[in-house]
Structure 1
Amino acid sequence: MQHATEQLRERLAEISDLERIRQVLNWEQSTMMPPRGAPARARQLATLANITHERFVAAETGELIAAAEQELTGLGLPADSLTVRLVAQARRLYDKGAHVPAELVKARAQAAADGYRAWLAARAADDFSAYAPALERNFDLAREYASCFDAQADLYDAVLDDYMPGMTDATVSVLFDELRGELVPLVDALAGRPIDTAVQRARYSIAAQRGLVAEVLGWLGFDASSWRLDDTAHPFQTSFSVSDIRLTTRFEADYFPGALYGAMHECGHGLYEAGIAPELERTPLGQIYSLAMNESQSRLWENMVGRSRAFCDALAPVLAGHSEGALDGLDGASLFRAVNAVQPSLIRIEADETTYGLHVVLRHELERALMSGELEVSDLPEAWNSRMRDYLGVTVRSDVQGVMQDVHWSEGLIGYFPSYAIGNLIAGQLWERIAAALPDLDAQLRRHDLRPLREWPTEHIYRHGSAFSDAELLSRLVGAPLQVAPFVRYLRGKLGDVYGIELA
């Protein structure tokens, strides 16, 4: 009888419940809370973060982990058994959390809630100076947090580890240098080759978009009995259990791809969370190990599925059918070209699949410089705008379309951005594996039969939760470490089809 392991499970289950409650409050803050509720909500989130952290890093938790480790030593369980992985993950999280004072956890939660409120107000007024103090506060606290760990380590590595455990800035920088080296000439090669993208700016009522999004999400697996979709300023996904998945998106009457592909992106996250094995709930394994693997799924469903030629053939008549006549006669080939055109632009979440990576590289460089102190918050807009000109050739005329477009830094999510582009790279590797495993994939996409595609990652990725690291999953599934080349091959193949040219 594994007494210590069972006692550890019970304690971790209570801590998991507290964390899920915090996520409920965060979700409601971003979707339904009236503006005047913000100060009280900030205090509530800070209190709850403090209680959860203190309970997790308490001596009793450490003693239970040590006892469970000792208990498992003589049982001869395989290294990848769920019980062994559960205790190992608890140990990893406990050892990391124990370095961080509870007051700092509380301060960061308070600053995140305050920062979100400041971001909303500053965006409405297009006033970066009103947002800057909250941003400075979050970066100050991030540096204080990072300094809790190895004093010799790079501060930025400490925050990266929160989102991609084991990942270092040295590795990210090498990958991003290679990625930028591939993307910039690819974008240059396609410059001056216009694609008609007018379809994306057709006037499409928000009411009609809601019907469109609901139908397409149904294809992906959205189930109203356990899923929910709401409006927000910046799309996100969260879950409170495998049977309570919350998606959000943002609707604009003159840009339907924002709502449609935003919802598909968040649904990719939701499919991952809904696919975690129910027996892992209320344990450290009942969550996703890395945001990079998580982002690989949102990017895969949004782009590799949603913007594929085969899926566009299925999507075009439905898109036209909901458009109230605005897109009558739209065909799949025209939609495919429009939604994959390479057009450098201002907004990351609206960026085409090719230039998107450059938006992420820019953010990685800036937040790394802010963490190290090489860049001051007051100089951030100028640095942002300069890189937008250099990397994408676009001019930023408003901070709302520049440095204030993303919610992440306002909520203290520093070190998060690289996971988007790393997710693209993982998706490139997985997509080649999926294509080999599902030879009829294109035919399935054309009839929007997405069940086989859902089942493959559910079986090989989703159900494991946090049982395996990204490196372990890649080794198991593709037999290779993280690489840039498969994603670039995928892009070149797709864009050659879009533009009707050979891209070597």
Structure 2
Amino acid sequence: MSDYQQQFEALCHEITEAAKLDSIQQLLEWDERTIMPAKAGAYRADQVSLLAGLIHERRTSPKVGELLQSLADSPLAADPHSDAGATIRVLLRDYRRDSKLPQALVVELSKAKVIAQQAWVQARTGNNFPLFRPHLDNMLRLMRETADAIGYEESRYDALLDYYEPEAKTAEVAAALTALKDDLAPLVAEIAESGRHPKMEILERDFPIVAQEEFGKRVAKEIGFDFEAGRLDVTHHPFCCGVGPHDCRITTRYDQNFFPSAFYSTLHEAGHGLYDQGLRSDQYGLPPGNYVSLGIHESQSRMWENMVGRSYPFWRQYYPELRKLFPSLGDTPMGDFHFAVNNVEPSLIRVEADEATYNLHIIIRFELEQALLSGDLPVADLPGAWNEKYQSLLGIASDDDADGCLQDVHWSAGLIGYFPTYSMGNMYAAQLFDQATLDLGDLAEMFGRGEFMPLLEWLREKVHQPGSRYTAPDLMRNICGESIDHGPLLKYLRTKYAPLYGISH
């Protein structure tokens, strides 16, 4: 074995040991957001912050730095997209960023996240923004310190965005979202002017939670989610958590009188879970076994939730069973049900928004969190600024903060820079779905027969298995021949909504 190979194996050992510690932290955070007793929050913050410090110390140790420096120009790094080359390239990049962060800041931030999330749950439940306000102030202070420690050329936001969408720049993302908004606005206007409306009361009948859980788990399993390597639980805000190479936790929340809430959040998180379960377990903790970006991750969840789960052929397969499970549907025609789950109408809640207006919710958050981070928007003024933007972009405003600026968990968890990846994921999803259709044939007809494995196997080969061996733009170019483009998403939406609303393709 060459000296370089020995050094590479020593590097992988250090990083995979840190990944084990990180998996323990992930498990604690999953427990916190699902079944942990409310009074345990303070000690959980101590546990998580201790682990965060140990993980940071291990990943930024002098030993890791020396190994990376020695390997950076070695033959193992010659091909930047090989397992070894990608491992060295990505870890060196992360090391240079993370080693700039003081240990004390990492520990303080991880502790503050747990405490802030607990406060957010109480504030949202009680519609009490003042209760959450000091925690958000503190979180923003810590995120500014993080961005300043890392450094940036143009915008503080760049330093934080990079954690979720590596190498992306705020200005580029803003341009992509603006172009998307400019083309979405006429579509939403056409739909509003069509005068057509589905019968939404179809979805607001009695849907017993036990039956919802049974149906959601069955569909998640049939699209490929492995429940022997994962589970479904209840939470305040649905999420997916990869605890280990064969341990993926997905969550949902139930509303007995609104069917889409739990079903589509289950399908959405199962889409994330399919990505996690499709990554290479032999490379867990290393770049070839890690997802490339949150935009790509979101493309998987949005594809399964919307392009599969809201399609007419999908419901042709599942609607007969749904009517048996839920007698409240009575003799409701499938076409009426399908129209209802594809209703386009401005709404307050992002996670329940339709596909056409969803990105407007993201743009609002993207703009607000930049203003919060820069200090241009004081936290005390957030509720009013939130409602102003909702009124401007969607023509509605919330009567309370629980359905307004308190509806998302992200800011309490310090996830500044995360939101734009949702819209990037929508664009990526449409591009990938188009390419899969070219490669595989009529996917809609497959869904109508309950055949989901061809799409999943294609995604496993093209998206999941490469891990982080390529950047997100390079991965998209490899698969689709181009990087991010909102054109396929607009085409998909118009094609879907044209027959429902009588608008032009």
* Bin for the TM-score computed over the shorter chain: over 0.9
- Please tell me whether residue 102 in structure 1 is matched to residue 103 in structure 2: yes
Amino acid at match of 1:384: W
Which amino acid is 1:243 matched to? H
Taking structure 1 as the reference length, the TM-score comes to 0.97
More moved, 207-216 vs 228-237: 207-216
Q: Which amino acid aligns with 2:44?
A: R
The letter of the residue matching 1:417 is: F
The two structures, once aligned, show a CA RMSD in angstroms of 1.3
Map Cα deviations across residues 447-503 of structure 1 (whole Å, 9 max, x no partner).
Answer: 221111110100101011111111111110111121111111111111112223324
Alignment-derived partner of residue 401 in structure 1: 403
Residue number among 35, 44, 64 corresponding to 1:61 in the alignment = 64
* 1:199 and 2:190 aligned: no
1:93 aligns with 2:94: yes
SS at match of 1:400: coil
Structure 2 match to 1:9: 12
Letter in 2 for 1:122: A
* Contact kept? 2:246, 2:281, Cα under 8 Å: no
C-alpha distance in 2, partners of 1:112/1:282? Answer: 23
Q: CA deviation at 1:54?
A: 1.1
Instruction: Name the residue aligned to 1:376.
Output: 378
Number of aligned residue pairs: 500
Partner amino acid, structure 2, of 1:145: T
Question: Segments of 4+ in structure 1 off by > 4 A?
Answer: none
TM-fit CA distance, 1:202: 1.7
Contact 2:317 2:447 in 1 (8 A): yes
Shift of 1:284: 3.3
Q: Pick from 292, 295, 298 the counterpart of residue 298 of structure 2.
A: 295
Structure-to-structure mapping, 1:470-485, within 5 angstroms: 470-485=472-487
Tell me the secondary structure at the aligned position of residue 353 of structure 1: coil
Q: In the alignment, which of 345, 356, 359 is matched to residue 357 of structure 1?
A: 359
On the 8 A contact 1:211/1:322 being kept in 2, the answer is no
Question: Which runs of 5 or more structure 1 residues have no equivalent in the other structure?
Answer: none
Letter of the 1:303 counterpart = N
Match of 1:210 in 2: 213
**Cα distance in 1 for residues equivalent to 2:288 and 2:149:** 25
Instruction: Determine the C-alpha separation between the residues in 2 that align with 1:303 and 1:61.
Output: 42
Q: CA deviation at 1:151?
A: 5.3
Q: 1:247 is paired with a residue of what secondary structure?
A: strand
Q: For 1:419 and 1:452, how far apart are their aligned partners in 2? A: 26
What are the residue-to-residue correspondences of 1:411-490 with 2, within 5 Å? 411-490=413-492
- Whether 2:233 is the aligned partner of 1:230: answer yes
| Structure 1 partner of 2:387 | 385
What is the identity, as a one-letter code, of the residue corresponding to 1:291?
A: L
Deviation at 1:394, TM superposition (A): 1.2
Counterparts in 2 of 1:330 and 1:280: CA distance versus 1, 3 Å: farther
| Residues 375-425 of structure 1: per-residue CA shift (max 9 Å, x gap) | 010000000001111111112101000000000001111110000011101
Indicate the SS of the match to 2:72: helix
Residues in 2 aligned to 1:320 and 1:36: alpha-carbon distance in whole angstroms: 42
Structure-2 change in CA distance of 1:422 and 1:151 (3 Å): closer
After superposing the two structures, state which structure 1 stretch, 332-341 or 93-102, moved more.
Answer: 332-341
Q: What secondary structure is seen at the aligned counterpart in 1 of 2:136?
A: helix
In structure 1, distance between residues paired with 2:442 and 2:433: 14
Deviates more, 1:282-291 or 1:413-422: 282-291
Q: CA deviation at 1:76?
A: 8.2
Q: Counterpart amino acid of 2:133?
A: A
> Retained in 1: the 8 A contact 2:348–2:404?
yes
Question: How far, CA to CA, are the matches of 2:24 and 2:113 in structure 1?
Answer: 16
Q: Which amino acid aligns with 1:394?
A: I
CA distance in 2, matches of 1:476, 1:426: 13
Contiguous gaps of at least 5 residues in structure 2: none
Matched, 1:32 2:32: no
Q: What TM-score comes out, normalization by structure 2 length?
A: 0.97
Contact 1:50/1:102 (8 A) holds in 2: yes
Do the aligned residues in 2 keep the contact of 1:29 with 1:38 (CA within 8 Å)? yes
Give the drift of 1:179.
1.1
> Do the aligned residues in 2 keep the contact of 1:316 with 1:331 (CA within 8 Å)?
no
1:125 and 2:126 aligned:
yes
Paired with 2:293 and 2:242, the residues of 1 have a C-alpha distance of: 15
Query: Once the 2 structures are TM-superposed, how far is the Cα of residue 440 of structure 1 from its aligned partner?
Result: 3.3
- Conserved 8 A contact 1:12-1:284: no
Tell me the equivalent position of 2:242.
239
